Amino acid sequence: MFASRSAPLALLLALPLVFSCESALKTADDPDAGTSPGDDGKDGGGGAIVDGGGSPTGDGGGDAGVDAGPPPRSTEDPTISREPVLSIGGGSVIWDLAFLPDGSALFTVRGGAVRKLTLGNTPSSTVVANAGSAGNPLAGLFAEGQSGLMGVAVDPAFATNRRVYLYFSHDANGTKDNRVVRYRLSAQDTLTDRTDIVTGISYKAAATSVGGAGSHSGGRLRFGPDGMLYLTTGDNHSATIPQNVEALGSKVLRFTTDGAPAPGNPNIGSRNLIWSLGFRNPQGITFHPYTGAVFVSEHGPGNDDEVTKLTAGANGGWNPNNGGQYNGYNGALMTDTAAVASAVAPIWKHDVSNGMSPCTFLRGASWKSWDYRLAVGFLGGRKIQLLDFDASLSNVVDVGEFPDVTERVRSLVMGPDEKLYVTTDSGEIFRFRAQ
């Protein structure tokens, strides 16, 4: 769609006013501003297993060299080219993507399909599973509003156990929840051995004045460098879920591949699945490729998209509770330190919400001076920004932007080929190559 184009970072940094104006205009098509039930304008997205356990330095502990910081990188700006990969039609939201060890990938279509992407000279995809027919491996999956089939992750030990994981909305005879389901991917590329490992995750079953059913389910599912699964979940437009430790919405959950509490969880709530709490509708989670530090991205209610660096037990400070009524729009603070004294300040925020969605760290020598920077995608804002941090990973020291992005960005995944894969709400997968 686009010719390869060089985009030195210096040029991108020279355009902040242009992008600010564009951002403001595009906010209007973000239903998440509270004017429309389809608040998908701002839900976010993320990457795949390569974010964490599959990263080149994902050594399991992720802490070798925490004190020393990342190794030196080139000071030269990369040349960035956009390359088309696949289009499956404008009506499909490609929610997430995860690479398999052989270089192919699984991706999810929110409406209820798992497909396999095969790269090569002519990339193509095939159906792994479709929801809807009785007895199929996705039984119970349903799509509604912003929800349906969302995150996908591939087991770090896939080569031996062939396990994959999906996060989706589920309806059991009218009882609806969000859940994480484990499968085995057969040699024939079908899903077998279904086990629903975490159920009962908050789901918005009925429309309210601020949005339709299925709003704010979060949805990014990733392995961390510690081998545990991390899942971001949403507030369901509920006043109380964000700070309720017995509800699994508005949280970062951390659990084993069997769905048990991950060792070392901070004992929040009786199920002990909560690793961090107090989020709105986070759809990005990623791990620093060198230190393992956890970063979450989420979109605000018209103001303050946030990137937050988290530790176990951290409270993101979202508390949209006004006497039991949902106060999640109209300037509600994404980090409400008056209501939540322990709230962790974001490491970076986009002052006007552009529907911040996924995030992932760039990784690989071909990225040159962009190596180890955090790519953050936007839905309504239709862009991918790029954050650089100081050595402590506590301060943003530079903000850039990728060229040639005009789609709603749903997921960002580093490929094993060092390319950044992007999935969109318009049924596309494309990628950026650096050199």
Told to check if 335 binds Ca ion by CB under 5 A, we report: yes
Distance of CA 135 to the CA centre of its chain: 29
Q: How many residues bind Ca ion (CB under 5 A)?
A: 4
User: Any idea how long the chain is?
Assistant: 435
Q: How far is the CB of 343 from Ca ion (least distance, A)?
A: 6
Nearer to Ca ion by Cβ, of 55 and 353: the residue is 353
Phi/psi of residue 411, each to 5°? -145, 145
Nearer to Ca ion by Cβ, of 102 and 351: the residue is 351
Told to check if 316 binds Ca ion by CB under 5 A, we report: yes
Q: How far is the CB of 255 from Ca ion (least distance, A)?
A: 23
Phi/psi of residue 124, each to 5°? -145, 170
Nearer to Ca ion by Cβ, of 218 and 316: the residue is 316
Nearer to Ca ion by Cβ, of 296 and 393: the residue is 296
Binding segment for Ca ion among 146-154, 314-322, 363-371, 426-434 (CB under 5 A)? 314-322
Round to whole Å and give the CA distance between 154 and 405.
Answer: 27
Nearer to Ca ion by Cβ, of 146 and 281: the residue is 281
Beta-bridge partner residues of 83: 431
- Closest to 171 (Cα-Cα) out of 209, 132, 210: 132
Q: Report DSSP state, residue 141.
A: B
Residue number of the CB closest to Ca ion reads 335
- Closest to 141 (Cα-Cα) out of 209, 214, 74: 214
Told to check if 334 binds Ca ion by CB under 5 A, we report: yes
Binding segment for Ca ion among 15-23, 88-96, 237-245, 317-325 (CB under 5 A)? 317-325
| Whether the Cβ atoms of residue 297 and residue 306 lie closer than 8 Å to each other | yes
Phi/psi of residue 417, each to 5°? -90, 10
Q: How far is the CB of 254 from Ca ion (least distance, A)?
A: 18
Q: How far is the CB of 236 from Ca ion (least distance, A)?
A: 17
For the chain, how are helix, strand and coil distributed in percent, rounded to 5? 10, 35, 55
Nearer to Ca ion by Cβ, of 239 and 422: the residue is 239
Binding segment for Ca ion among 202-210, 257-265, 335-343, 364-372 (CB under 5 A)? 335-343
Round to whole Å and give the CA distance between 332 and 422.
Answer: 30
Nearer to Ca ion by Cβ, of 92 and 335: the residue is 335
Told to check if 380 binds Ca ion by CB under 5 A, we report: no
Round to whole Å and give the CA distance between 281 and 42.
Answer: 8
Q: How far is the CB of 39 from Ca ion (least distance, A)?
A: 18
Which residues contact Ca ion by CB under 5 A?
A: 316-317, 334-335
